[in-house]
């Protein structure tokens, strides 16, 4: 009788003991937003993989909340004019320089493009350049869609260097009417801070990797701001 009671008690205790949960990410800013909590849970499905410094995945369990753009690969050489415009414009920024300032900085833009071209063609020969295209609203609000090119001109790897300076593909937004850079939208998505695009309930959101602490940042420009710290195994990462 006693043995039966002891066995029953142990079985009950084992049944009630909470299951061990492994977390490698935790929300440190934005806990009040459902998107931040869901995205943290999504990232924690990948704790057996390296930290998502270069890009971030969507687990099938969270496909009803999150999705990724349907990128179409295109030939970089056939769209070299778009890449050139993007590199040159980065000298001026996207806040609208006056004509005099632009003329003054034209020399800088030319030097930057000529310098970029050297590395670009080297990476192209190695097969490290990838240009993709999709049509969606990258602003995250409204119904108007933009043509967005995703330029990847490097090979990203999880090592000490990229933990501290993650190389994320650049988003180039084109105005469908003019075929030129959409400078207004580029300013909204904050040029100069490379971001990955994902959709939350159909609306575009932007994420990037930051350091100190190592974390994923989402939509700093919107009211749904998230900071999700990586607390998993950092291996031999440089301090």
Cα–Cα dist 206/217, whole Å: 8
DSSP 45: G
**Span 165-182, pLDDT tens digits:** 566 788 999 998 888 999
Locate the domains of the chain by residue range. Answer: 21-230
Between 161 and 80, where is the model more confident?
Answer: 80
Dihedral Cα 133, 154, 78, 99, nearest 10 deg? 90
Q: Is the pLDDT of residue 159 over 80?
A: no
Would you state the pLDDT for residue 169? 83
Q: Is 27 helix (H, G, I), strand (E, B) or coil?
A: strand
The whole-angstrom separation of Cα 195 and Cα 140 is: 13
Q: Is the pLDDT of residue 15 over 60?
A: no
Report the pLDDT averaged over residues 99-109: 64
Beta bridge partners of 153: 129
What are the tens digits of pLDDT across the range 60-82? 999 999 999 999 999 999 999 99
208: helix, strand or coil: strand
Q: For 177-192, b where at least 16 C-beta lie within 10 A, e where not — what string?
A: eeeebbbebbebbebe
In whole angstroms, what is the distance from residue 40 CA to residue 230 CA?
A: 10
Cα 222 from Cα 208, distance rounded (Å): 14
**Given a cut of 80, is residue 239 above it in pLDDT?**
no
State which H helix or E strand residue 16 sits in: helix 2-16
């Amino acid at each position: 009788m006693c043995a039966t009671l002891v066995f029953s008690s142990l079985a009950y205790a084992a049944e009630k003991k909470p299951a061990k949960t492994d977390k490698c990410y935790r929300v440190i800013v934005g806990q009040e937003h459902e998107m931040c909590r869901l995205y943290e849970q999504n990232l924690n499905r990948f704790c057996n993989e390296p930290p998502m410094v270069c890009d971030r995945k969507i687990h099938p369990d969270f496909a009803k909340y999150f999705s990724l753009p349907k990128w179409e690969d295109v030939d970089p050489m056939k769209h070299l004019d778009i890449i050139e415009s993007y590199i040159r414009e980065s000298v001026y920024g996207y806040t609208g320089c006056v004509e005099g300032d632009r003329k003054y900085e034209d020399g800088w833009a030319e030097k930057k493009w000529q310098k970029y071209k050297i590395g670009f063609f080297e990476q192209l020969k190695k097969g490290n350049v990838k240009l993709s295209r999709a049509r969606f609203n990258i602003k995250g609000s409204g119904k108007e869609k933009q043509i967005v090119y995703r330029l990847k001109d490097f090979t990203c790897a999880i090592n000490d260097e990229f933990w501290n300076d993650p190389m994320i593909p650049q988003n180039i937004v084109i105005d469908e009417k003019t075929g030129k850079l959409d400078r207004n939208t580029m300013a909204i998505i904050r040029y100069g801070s490379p971001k990955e695009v994902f959709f939350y309930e159909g609306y575009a959101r932007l994420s990037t990797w930051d350091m100190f602490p190592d974390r994923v940042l989402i939509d700093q420009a919107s009211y749904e701001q998230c900071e999700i710290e990586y607390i998993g195994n950092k291996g031999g990462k440089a301090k």
